[in-house]
Chain A
């Protein structure tokens, strides 16, 4: 490590942290203080904004709803993407390349006009305003990405391992669960992180497919914009709370990210 690197990365970290610092500070201020003058530190430090959120079910249920569909999405994504990625990394089969690219194209459709057919589709199968509807809709982009990342990792695992296991009499499911999956733990960590991330931050689909029971926190936050203007303090507090779950996830997978794509296509 030389000094130039340390200075460089410190500047970048400072640049990342500054807007977040401002958000956190605002969440502890009252609206009078936020709009009154520029203060770098809250004059009257108060938890009022957070108390409002945690004491009102219509607020905190937003976080619960978002968490539920994001976790569902991560589980569905991993369960389906793992075998598919294995197939892509080990076998050639009819239409494999077009299929792989087709999966990726699903991330490329502009949502605005697709929202209406989405709404109609999920209403017609009776899933409107359920967590599973949002989880399934988010699979549209999380599954292709997961297959892509996992395939890269799996291609780095030598096929000799599979062959030896089959000679030893392992059946495919037994081998896959007992031997292969533990070998690519890091890959699963990284994939789970990406699925979590993209599902947690997506809002257009989540908002379209829900009304009351599964409404995500991002949609609830818009109600801070009311008749008498924006309730900045409350909005900031709600924003801060949206960052925390993600930070916990990163903390858990940090070592996997560091090992990262080590096995993979790199």
Chain B
């Protein structure tokens, strides 16, 4: 690690980024804060204080989708992080096969999110989709449109398909950074494959995994387009995640005030979890 020099002139280098991001971030955020404390009624606005916040926090529909959201994000992280590491470990390291693997792996990441939903919508259909027809062919009564378990299974599988590659690509480039000398030393010590992974590879993957976990948490917690296209939130409300509930509220019912209050609460939850994760990791670092 390089030692950093104290220099407040560095602000000039950061200024373009600050202005650029602030332009799109601050005014909309202020507007939303404004909505969240007012009752907007035709053209008159009444200050209502924390009323919308209280209403939103006591809404059982929101509580239900919040729980669903945590279960979803938790499962996504539990599946995708280990699987991504495993895939990165199995990937060929050089030659044409490595390039080919990289390109195929990156493909799901580069498909617009609503198209991802569409692909799985067709793929899972029992009459015209490969997966749906196959599952029904081997005797599983699979139908993601009417069975909540199947719907969950499909949404999870879709997310694993869509995003595990991100973790794998990050870990792959992290693994490439380990000098050969480390492996040779391990060989001399006759270390087992597990020991090599635990004491050489995993510590070196730490930083890319921090990026991976944070990105996957944020994106999975705000997932919208894919399940919306695939299941429309159904059957019933079984796959209605938080952002879909929010959208229904904001656009479907024109409840701008509660919707704004809700999105700020939503924002704070993501912020809090990310911050906790971030500080825990840095704290553990400083201890070492």
Contact = CB atoms under 8 A, between A and B. Distances in A.
Given A22-B119, A99-B14, A117-B32, A112 B246 contact: yes
Contact of A246 (B106, B118, B207): B106
Contacts of A64: none
Contact of A93 (B7, B101, B119): B7
Interface centre among A111, A116, A152, A261 (most CB of B within 10 A): A261
A81 B17 contact: yes
Contacts of B89: 5
Interface residues of A, number: 102
A1 B93 CA distance: 9
A254 B4 contact: no
A171 to B, nearest CB: 14
Interface in B169-206: 169-170, 172-174, 176-177, 204-206
A246 B111 CA distance: 8
Nearest to A149: B211
A108 B106 CA distance: 23
A148 interface: yes
Contact of A111 (B112, B222, B278): B222
A42 interface: no
Contacts, number: 288
Interface residues of B, number: 100
Interface in A232-252: 232, 235-236, 239, 242-243, 245-247, 249-251
Interface string B82-118: 0000110111100000110111111111111111001
Main secondary structure of the interface of A (DSSP, over half): helix
A242 B170 CA distance: 23
A110 interface: yes
B238 to A, nearest CB: 20
B262 to A, nearest CB: 8
Contacts of A87: 10-11, 13-14
A44 B131 CA distance: 22
Interface stretch (B41-49, B57-65, B139-147, B267-275): B267-275
B107 A266 contact: no
Contact of A104 (B91, B113, B177, B274): B274
B120 interface: yes
Contacts of A203: 112-114, 225
B120 A19 contact: yes
Chain B contact residues: over half helix, strand or loop, or mixed?
A: helix
Contacts of A81: 17
Contacts of A222: 114
A112 B7 contact: no
Contacts of A80: 16-17, 20
Contacts of A8: 86-87, 90
B286 interface: no
Contact of A121 (B14, B28, B204, B259): B28
Contacts of B284: none
Interface string A81-97: 10110111111111010
Interface of A: 1, 5, 8-9, 12-13, 15-20, 22-23, 26, 34-35, 38, 40, 76, 79-81, 83-84, 86-94, 96, 99, 101, 103-114, 116-118, 120-121, 136-137, 139-140, 143-145, 147-149, 152, 155, 158-159, 190, 197, 200-204, 217-218, 221-222, 232, 235-236, 239, 242-243, 245-247, 249-251, 254, 257-266
Identify the 3 closest CB pairs spanning chains A and B, nearest first: A260-B173, A246-B110, A117-B28
16 contacts: A8-B86, A13-B101, A35-B128, A90-B5, A93-B8, A106-B24, A110-B242, A110-B266, A112-B224, A112-B259, A114-B28, A116-B250, A118-B28, A144-B21, A257-B173, A263-B177
